[in-house]
Chain A
Amino acid sequence: MSAPVMLLGAVAVGCVVAAHLLARASWPRRSPAIAIALWQALGLGWGVATVGALAGFWASGLRPRSGIGLPSVAAAAASAPRLLLRMGTAERAWGVMTALRASSLIAGILLLALLWWILLAAVAAVLRARQRQRALLCLLAHDDPKVPGALVVDHPAAAAYCVPGLRSAIVISAGTLALLDQAELAAVLAHERAHLRARHDLVLLPFTALLRAFRWSAVARDANREVALLVEMMADDRARRRRPARELATALLRVGVSGGGLAPVGALAITGGASARGEMGVVPAGAAGSGRTCSSPAPVGARPDSPRGRAMDGELAARVTRLLKPPPGLPVLAMILLGAASAMLVLAPAIALLLPL
């Protein structure tokens, strides 16, 4: 096995290990933007390195002295049919190694196709879902002077979110309007606007797509959760430039402990006529915490003290603490090193693939 292939394999494995470590590190909260850049580099680097290693393994078998560069792969591909024919006429027997290399190539091609496919499928799904949201908002939502520029939906639970895209929207539930005061509502709007302006949906899209494809992978789940949290912190930081941090903090806390959840009690069946409140198990905003784990990623019925519940609670507390006591930024040297590491992760495998080494 040639050295470049081994290097790519090491990079691929290293990316997974680094992702595992990064998900548990505490420095990202001090500089979310750099941490997100590193996450993106890890994801992209892993993809390129894995595909490259698989393809390179195959290519290095056909022409042992060539590198893994794309030109070499192309040349190897050109000679492959001839080689296969010769193998068929017993000039070179099919050994275990050859079978392994062939499988490696197929695996590489499949992985590449899979990665592109999941990205496109995720984009299509998101666009469809946004279209449906906009159609429903057109019929159901209305303006309210308390939240200028946002749409209000008559739902008792406390929830606020934004629908990104070309025709973006900020949606506030009626429960939220009842729960928060004017200043807190302004802070919520500033936070959601920050998401829209910075196009955080584009940042999150690859990770959402990765999670859909590798749902079983703990690393994919961790990556998704961490990047989502970092994105929230970035929006908090931007909102804090326009509104006092304390208003955003109290808004977060009020919504968080309002107990207004959207967890469906049973199957997600929406039948006409049934009151949404009864069927969906909705607790109106402001109700004292009923001990329910509402809207948590854990399955309905999980005990509130489950580890998943604890991790989530930590996220809200972490954001509030960060708002009230901003942590010191990372030292400049650390930022430079991290930036360089991210760039290397992306460039090195790409260069290795393009040059005949």
Chain B
Amino acid sequence: MNRLGELERAIMDVLWESPDAMTVRQVGNCLTDRDLAHTTVMTVLDRLTKKGFVRRKRAGRAWRYRPAESREAYVAELMLTAFDQTGDRQAALTRFARSVSGSEADALRTALESLSTGGTGSRS
């Protein structure tokens, strides 16, 4: 991943860690690379805002930034939109294996047990 992508990621991590909205200076202080110019941090925050991942509000003379959604919400969106519930393919091709349940799942579990014990058996 390129440098800009890494920065966006690092800044999102900082924002997700913090319970409150943060100013550019606060974000810069939390980043591990303290040599980053203030303007660089601000530019990346602007990009993230334009992309819709970050929201900002004016507080006095400075902007305060917060993530638009929680990390868990984005992870859920990632997994759910890969392939929607009606089976229409979206971004992803297909799931590796769809979940089964009920009596068929029991039958498959039996098959799994016999396969696992039949050979090398033990899993870590």
Known: A163-B92, A181-B124, A256-B108. A136 touches B100 (CB 8 A): no
A140 to B69, CA, bound (A): 12
Chain A positions 242 through 254: 1 when the CB is less than 8 Å from some CB of chain B, otherwise 0: 0000100111111
Specify the chain A residue showing the minimal Cβ separation from B9.
Answer: A139
Q: How many angstroms between the C-alpha atoms of A268 and B77 in the bound complex?
A: 9
Complex Cα gap A326–B79 (Å): 32
Question: Which residues of chain B in 65-124 are interfacial with respect to chain A, using CB atoms and an 8 Å cutoff?
Answer: 67-83, 85-109, 111-112, 115-116, 119, 123-124
Instruction: Kindly list chain A residues whose C-beta atoms are within 8 Å of the C-beta of B72.
Output: 275-277
A166 at the interface (CB under 8 A from B): no
Give the tally of cross-chain contacts (CB within 8 A): 217
How many chain B residues sit at the interface, stated as a range, is 35 or more
A33 to chain B minimum Cβ distance, whole angstroms, is 17
Contacts A139-B53, A280-B80 given; indicate if A257 touches B108 (C-beta within 8 A).
yes
Q: How far is the CA of A212 from the CA of B98 in the complex (A)?
A: 21
- Contact, CB under 8 Å: B76 / A280: yes
Using a CB–CB cutoff of 8 Å, the interface residues on chain A facing chain B are 125-126, 129-130, 132-133, 135-140, 153-155, 157, 159-164, 171, 173, 181-182, 188, 191-192, 195, 200-201, 204, 208, 211-212, 224-225, 228, 231-232, 246, 249-264, 268, 270-277, 279-280, 282, 289-297, 300, 304-305, 309-310, 312-317, 319-320, 324
Extra contacts, 14 of them, besides A138-B9, A292-B101 (Cβ < 8 A), are: A126-B91, A136-B74, A137-B78, A160-B96, A161-B93, A171-B82, A250-B116, A271-B73, A272-B73, A274-B73, A276-B75, A280-B76, A294-B99, A317-B104
A-B contact pairs, 21 of them (CB 8 A): A125-B90, A139-B53, A139-B74, A163-B91, A192-B96, A224-B87, A253-B109, A253-B115, A256-B98, A259-B105, A261-B99, A262-B79, A262-B80, A272-B70, A280-B76, A289-B106, A295-B99, A304-B101, A313-B102, A316-B108, A320-B108
